[in-house]
Amino acid sequence: MRVVLQNLTKIFPSRNKKSNEEVVAVNDFTFEIPDGKLIGLLGPSGCGKSTTLYMISGLQKPTSGQILFGDEDVTDLPTEARGIGLVFQNYALYPHMTVKQNILFPLQNLKGADKLSKEEMMERAYNAAKLVQIEDLLDRKPSEMSGGQQQRVAIARALVKMPRVLLLDEPLSNLDARLRLQTREEIRRIQRETGITTIFVTHDQEEAMSISDMIVVMKLGVVQQIGAPQDVYDDPANLFVAKFLGTPPINVFEGTVRGEKLYLAEDCVMNVPGVADQDVFVGIRPEGFEVNPNGAMRCSLNNVEVMGRDASVVSEHPASVNPVVRSIIDSDIRLDLSNKNVSFSLKAHKVFLFNKDTEERIRFEVR
């Protein structure tokens, strides 16, 4: 099911009676979620992810704008009539019911033409349980299961009504690191198998990048950039997006462009054809550095952390905004730590310039 958001806005009135400051939680969202895709809504806490999801689900009413499922305007439809499945961070299972009863629950309230026979309900519940691989745990109570298993039950319960759209709000946040990794792969598999259009909310860029067909990066209720994860990583629209994606994060410098050349402090590090003279922010991805004795970027070397295939070089540079510069190089390249300095040349396509005031991207031709 294709989902379209049109100028979707949510304004909360001020909580504080004295001030009249309202919160624009979601500001004029317009985008389309293609049928059968998994979309990651990504941004820091408070940027309006949950509010967006709740409006799509019908739990919250937009201040203005429309929501379409396919060609149908669902903006004023109640939640029950939208055909959605919802999964939250805290699995919210009924503690006194077994897994089977929890999964069956949404089917038991179906009315009229949607009403199912007992056998049909059982079959649906079993299939949903099988999909999330808990079919052997149907008689347990939630308290007898791990967090990961409980979240699977919650996903099965959301799937059992065969929703048109599956909405997941930070579903992995309560799981430990290993389970998070495993469960996110599971969600991806289930999404592929069912082909249900899925909207996945997270503040964790790695999580969103790893499973989404498309990510929507948000900040303070405003969409910053939409695209395939790798495209957004490779071509960030502004400094916020550049900083939000990537581990280790992008290195940020204060630089100057003079005569189509980029200077970081005294170092003339690169040609930037077509860029006017100005002060800029410079973002360099950790993989954008190449150790090169003749490289123009001269750093003082702090440490080298070898991590199997890669080595992380920790150094300092006078133009760096952050205390240290982190670069990732091939671990075969041995750096002599008794040497206090290291020089790098830069890979031009891993270097991004941003306007010092607006923090919007300034593009140059990469030759």
Order of strands, sheet of 197-202, starting from the edge strand that comes earlier in the sequence: 84-87, 165-169, 197-202, 38-42, 214-219, 222-227
Residue 12 engages ligand ADP in binding (rule: CB under 6 A)? yes
- For tokens 């997941």, name the residue: 168
Residue 220 is encoded by which pair of tokens? Answer: 């303070």
Residue 202 engages Mg ion in binding (rule: CB under 5 A)? no
Q: Can you tell me the distance from the alpha carbon of 97 to that of 105, in angstroms, rounded to the nearest whole number?
A: 9
Minimum CB–partner distance for residue 23 and ligand ADP (Å): 5
- In DSSP notation, 218-280 reads EETTEEEEEE-HHHHHHS-SBHHHHHHS-SSPPEEEEEEEETTEEEETTEEEEE-TTPPSEEE
Report the C-alpha dihedral over residues 167, 68, 223, 48, rounded to 10 degrees.
-50
Residue 222 engages ligand ADP in binding (rule: CB under 6 A)? no
* 222 or 348: CB nearest ligand ADP: 222
Q: Which does 47 bind (CB under 5 to 8 A by kind): Mg ion, ligand ADP, none?
A: ligand ADP
Residue 224 engages ligand ADP in binding (rule: CB under 6 A)? no
Residue 89 engages ligand ADP in binding (rule: CB under 6 A)? no
* 55 or 175: CB nearest ligand ADP: 55
Residue 23 engages ligand ADP in binding (rule: CB under 6 A)? yes
Q: Which does 46 bind (CB under 5 to 8 A by kind): Mg ion, ligand ADP, none?
A: ligand ADP
Residue 74 engages ligand ADP in binding (rule: CB under 6 A)? no
Q: Degrees (nearest 5) of the Cα angle 152, 155, 157? A: 110
Minimum CB–partner distance for residue 43 and ligand ADP (Å): 6
The residue from 1, 8, 26, 50 that contacts Mg ion (CB under 5 A) is 50
Minimum CB–partner distance for residue 89 and Mg ion (Å): 8
Side-chain half-sphere CA neighbours of 306 within 13 A: 10
With 0-12 / 13-18 / 19 or more C-beta atoms within 10 angstroms meaning exposed / middle / buried, residue 113 is exposed
Alpha helix stretches (DSSP H) within the chain: 49-57, 99-108, 118-131, 147-159, 177-194, 205-211, 229-234, 239-244
Residue 225 engages ligand ADP in binding (rule: CB under 6 A)? no
Q: Can you tell me the distance from the alpha carbon of 57 to that of 66, in angstroms, rounded to the nearest whole number?
A: 13
Residue 107 is encoded by which pair of tokens? Answer: 């089917």
Residue 246 engages ligand ADP in binding (rule: CB under 6 A)? no
Minimum CB–partner distance for residue 18 and ligand ADP (Å): 16
Residue 226 engages ligand ADP in binding (rule: CB under 6 A)? no
- Give the binding-site size for ligand ADP (rule: CB under 6 A): 12
Strands 3-12 and 64-69: antiparallel
Minimum CB–partner distance for residue 84 and ligand ADP (Å): 17
Residue 45 engages ligand ADP in binding (rule: CB under 6 A)? yes
Residue 46 engages ligand ADP in binding (rule: CB under 6 A)? yes
Residue 48 engages ligand ADP in binding (rule: CB under 6 A)? yes
Minimum CB–partner distance for residue 243 and ligand ADP (Å): 17
Positive or negative, the Cα torsion across 171, 227, 185, 68?
positive
- Residues binding Mg ion (CB under 5 A): 50
- Residues binding ligand ADP (CB under 6 A): 12, 15, 23, 25, 43, 45-51
